[in-house]
Structure 1
């Protein structure tokens, strides 16, 4: 076997040439109209984490009632956010005359980070709970939550009042820190079941013929009371020029109206908002307004009819959703000077009734 060459003599016939390169792998020269928008993942992408804490005290009361008071906390860091454009003109260079040349990467239309780990959230809550397990024909469960939920990235959508983009200013993400679109400060729920004490096996009218009429009935209900979801007023026109998406409006005074002045046609002080000057971000904070809360009662009535055996029965059930037919209004128009600005134009479902029969054997 003949050795073709020895390394000590070098590689024969090898010549290295510099490969031809274009301007920037698909981008155009600075000053020309760009047509490329690279998208990339962070090479040092971090894993999100949460620090959770809780503390509670329980107490057993007479009548088999248990009460509990507790604190719940959650601090989340390095959460994945929506895609973030980082080709914004720096604020100190931003003017109405800014052009593509002023961007950090003028050869590209945009430069986007996919799901950057920049999200931060904070949740603190006090919970009250009272419960009576089923005994003597009745039970109940009541809870109350007083909480505060803040973050710097809203993902709830327009139904909850979230903004249309993640960060309005790439260079000042702190400006997007505020109440989350899921920040429901107060929420109370109460549910229970009560069997009427009449009829066979009950305290009253166990042997009376009336047991066939008023015996076997039971009632139940779920009551929900909660404060409104927060939302932000945005502009129709983004006059910053350096960022895409929604732009928060300027605000000159407290836009929240007293309850005795708030109407469906004017939910908040619309005159407090204005279009920010060109090339200027709005001074409004995140989610400084609140929509209508929720008052809802769902109720049910049922009766069991005995049939040919102990195991067989026919159950009649009537369910009433939004029993009081209370209107729960949606988020008012929040686009500055847009159609319906400041006007509540939607509401939750009206009362509905559902009847049913169930045969068990």
Structure 2
């Protein structure tokens, strides 16, 4: 694609006010109340370089806006207000048990990262498909006739509903002894009106044999365009997680924090945000498969991680001045043995979801970003990871079949799970006191210390043509998610 003009004189005003009060309802009960107000005005472009399609179902030409006309209107169901409430309660006399809870509404204001998409809309941007062009320097192409427009502009609705999330927590904390704290947390998030891409110019569908079907003679509502990439707040998301935490405060040189999270993250296309999902290889794209049936898009979020264990620790070796052994050491022994510490961060987590897709457009979906999915074979497994998989074949594609022409595939969104990850990072530090107020710190850092391979996403396109022939690369892993072992050394003089 080639943008004709990317310079814009954007104008948008935004302001916010926040009030919070913490007060003691009782000697063992603290209540937190907060209220945030956010006001935002619709963006406009002061040079008249902005155009919109007033009626996406009938109009052909984009209409230029004046410098005072807004790009889109903003609807806020809460009138700008976002309340928060929380409490902390210590029910036992020893003051070592704390129950905490909180709830709040948080908004995702439609700022520049959303409306800068106007740069991809006509008349200032064109998208072309070029078959075997003959290139010359400088650009453009040698033969302009080799360019054919795809007719798929990227747009936003004329009225945008403000996305928001409802967030809540419930936490039980207990102190054990002088240094150990254990916590159990329940965390939840509900996302509403999240942005996703869909095609409102999709051909109309009917129900045939209990399934969505595109008739062969169906026509797009607006014949002036093949399809639209329409970024609109049409998606929702729900996240629930149990978190278990064990924390040790520093004592005898040892401190650590260990946490385990068991979570489930579900959305129907937009829960990962504008860029989050598309930056993850193999995950479902930001685009909706069937805009006529958003319920069929409900599945695991592209950022879903079911199990996640994290351990961070620091241990000062008990040698040298100020330590258990060698406290009175001097000379070479003092400088060789003293001041050493070991630090580490370890992460073990399950894999991210992958969207099973295919090349042939059986459903009649004409959008460029259409993530076509196949059918599940009767009795098949939608997460057919092999028990003894290798990078050459991660999953069994025989669980999927090509659906009849006109039907949308019944395989769900993000059903396949990619390999999990194990990351072990280690560092050694040594403090060398040179003189009063001067210290030389040596550091050796080992990333992916055991050199463990964390494999990336497998090729997720099952069929390559309408005859149902398998893609030769299906299930093959050709990348890693993390780099190989890396070691770096550093010296830092503090004075």
Relative to the length of structure 1, the TM-score reads 0.83
- Would the alpha carbon gap of residues 238 and 111 (structure 1) be closer, same or farther in structure 2, given more than 3 Å must change? closer
**Partner in structure 1 of residue 141 of structure 2:** none
Contact 2:351 2:419 in 1 (8 A): yes
Tell me by how many angstroms 1:299 deviates.
Answer: 0.2
Secondary structure of the residue aligned to 1:117 is strand
Contact 2:287 2:371 in 1 (8 A): no
Tell me by how many angstroms 1:254 deviates.
Answer: 0.7
Secondary structure of the residue aligned to 1:167 is coil
Return the match for 1:318 from 425, 444, 449.
444
Return the match for 1:222 from 345, 368, 373.
345
CA RMSD for the aligned pairs? Answer: 2.6
C-alpha distance in 1, partners of 2:178/2:428? 25
- Would the alpha carbon gap of residues 219 and 113 (structure 1) be closer, same or farther in structure 2, given more than 3 Å must change? closer
Return the match for 2:317 from 196, 216, 236.
196
Tell me by how many angstroms 1:249 deviates.
Answer: 1.6
- Would the alpha carbon gap of residues 97 and 343 (structure 1) be closer, same or farther in structure 2, given more than 3 Å must change? same
Return the match for 1:84 from 174, 196, 199.
199
Look at both structures and tell me which one has the larger radius of gyration over its CA atoms: 1
Contact 1:160 1:230 in 2 (8 A): no
Is 1:62 matched with 2:189?
no
Contact 1:191 1:221 in 2 (8 A): yes
Tell me by how many angstroms 1:152 deviates.
Answer: 0.5
Secondary structure of the residue aligned to 1:134 is strand
Contact 1:299 1:323 in 2 (8 A): yes
**Partner in structure 2 of residue 205 of structure 1:** 326
Tell me by how many angstroms 1:98 deviates.
Answer: 2.2
Secondary structure of the residue aligned to 1:188 is strand
Tell me by how many angstroms 1:89 deviates.
Answer: 2.8
Q: What is the number of residues matched between the two proteins?
A: 329
Tell me by how many angstroms 1:44 deviates.
Answer: 5.1
C-alpha distance in 2, partners of 1:146/1:77? 23
- Would the alpha carbon gap of residues 114 and 288 (structure 1) be closer, same or farther in structure 2, given more than 3 Å must change? closer
**Partner in structure 2 of residue 343 of structure 1:** 476
Per mean C-alpha deviation after superposition, the further-off stretch among 287-296 and 43-52 is: 43-52
Deviations 1:171-219 (A, max 9, x none): 1111000000100000010011111111111111122353332111111
- Unaligned runs of 5+ residues in structure 1 are 1-23, 28-33
Return the match for 1:250 from 368, 375, 388.
375
Deviations 1:254-292 (A, max 9, x none): 154566432222211111122222111111011111111
Q: Which structure ranks higher in relative contact order (CA pairs < 8 Å, sequence separation ≥ 6)?
A: 1
**Partner in structure 1 of residue 492 of structure 2:** 358
- Would the alpha carbon gap of residues 239 and 212 (structure 1) be closer, same or farther in structure 2, given more than 3 Å must change? same
Deviations 1:108-161 (A, max 9, x none): 324647422211000000111121222332211111111000001155116343
- Would the alpha carbon gap of residues 165 and 85 (structure 1) be closer, same or farther in structure 2, given more than 3 Å must change? farther
- Would the alpha carbon gap of residues 78 and 273 (structure 1) be closer, same or farther in structure 2, given more than 3 Å must change? same
Tell me by how many angstroms 1:346 deviates.
Answer: 1.0
Secondary structure of the residue aligned to 2:394 is coil
Contact 1:168 1:246 in 2 (8 A): yes
Deviations 1:217-239 (A, max 9, x none): 11110000000001111011212
Relative to the length of structure 2, the TM-score reads 0.62
Contact 1:42 1:113 in 2 (8 A): no
Return the match for 1:281 from 397, 408, 426.
408
Is 1:73 matched with 2:206?
no
1:1-361 equivalences in 2 (<5 Å): 26=60, 41-43=156-158, 45-92=160-207, 98-99=216-217, 102-105=218-221, 107-110=223-226, 112=228, 114-154=230-270, 156-157=277-278, 159-164=280-285, 166-209=287-330, 210-244=333-367, 245-252=370-377, 253-257=380-384, 260-307=387-434, 309-336=435-462, 337-347=470-480, 348-361=482-495
C-alpha distance in 2, partners of 1:316/1:37? 57
C-alpha distance in 1, partners of 2:446/2:150? 58
- Unaligned runs of 5+ residues in structure 2 are 1-57, 62-148, 463-469
Contact 1:184 1:226 in 2 (8 A): yes
